[in-house]
A = this chain, B = another copy of it.
Amino acid sequence: MRDRNAPGRPREFDDTEMLRKIMKLFWKGGYEGVSLSAIMRETGLQKASLYAAFGDKRALYLKALTQYHEDVVVGAARALNDTSRPALHRVEAFLNAPLDAARLDDRTGCFLCNASADQADLDPATKQQVKRGFESLTRALAHPIAELRPAHDEASILTTARTLVSVYIGLRIMVRSGLSLEQLESSVPNAMTLVSP
């Protein structure tokens, strides 16, 4: 983000707004599946402007992934920490998110999952960013689980959280492959038995 009142011609677009558009492209199409021309079309910016503002395509992808973290991961973590709702509801809502998206006919899945499958093996920075996202989700999920399981120690809480993040990821991936909602949704109450036996 460039300073307002900086010398020189002011930027005509908002960095974050553009990164959100770019995020949606990469989210849906993957790294190689999105060309700079597609980004130019979507943002209305010229190649050189993109390059000056964000760097090359790799940097663009990584910044889109960071934007996803700030928007989606942080949002999910906040919801999991919202103590005004019952802990059980919060966990359930988290696991239901993949199915809710599918109900709205959004089978884009989760950008972290897609990036992991797509680029984690090829680019260390992407790998690191994806790992960080999963860790954030795990830590956030640990809070309501700890409320539900006050007797358990931290390690056991984190293990359960990781298992549920696995289920979340699995549902995201399976939804994307077009498996029917009716088949998948019964896995949510099934997985919930891990926190409410």
A177's partner among B134, B179, B187 (CB-CB below 8 A) is B134
| Copies of this subunit | 2
Within 8 A of B (CB), among A129-175: 130-131, 134-135, 155, 158-160, 162-163, 165-171, 173-174
Within 8 A of B (CB), among A172-197: 173-174, 176-179, 183-184, 186-187, 190-191, 193-194, 197
Contact, CB under 8 Å: B178 / A127:
yes
Chain B's closest residue to A135 (CB) is B179
Within 8 A of B (CB), among A108-122: 108-109, 112-114, 116-118, 120-122
A28 interface residue per 8 A CB criterion:
yes
A128 interface residue per 8 A CB criterion:
yes
Known A-B contacts A118-B117, A118-B118, A170-B170; the reply to A162 vs B177 at CB < 8 A is: no
- The answer for the CA separation of A76 and B11 in the assembled complex, in Å, is 55
A174's partner among B30, B160, B169 (CB-CB below 8 A) is B169
Question: Mind listing 8 A-B residue pairs with CB under 8 Å?
Answer: A28-B121, A109-B116, A117-B176, A159-B186, A162-B174, A162-B184, A163-B167, A163-B191
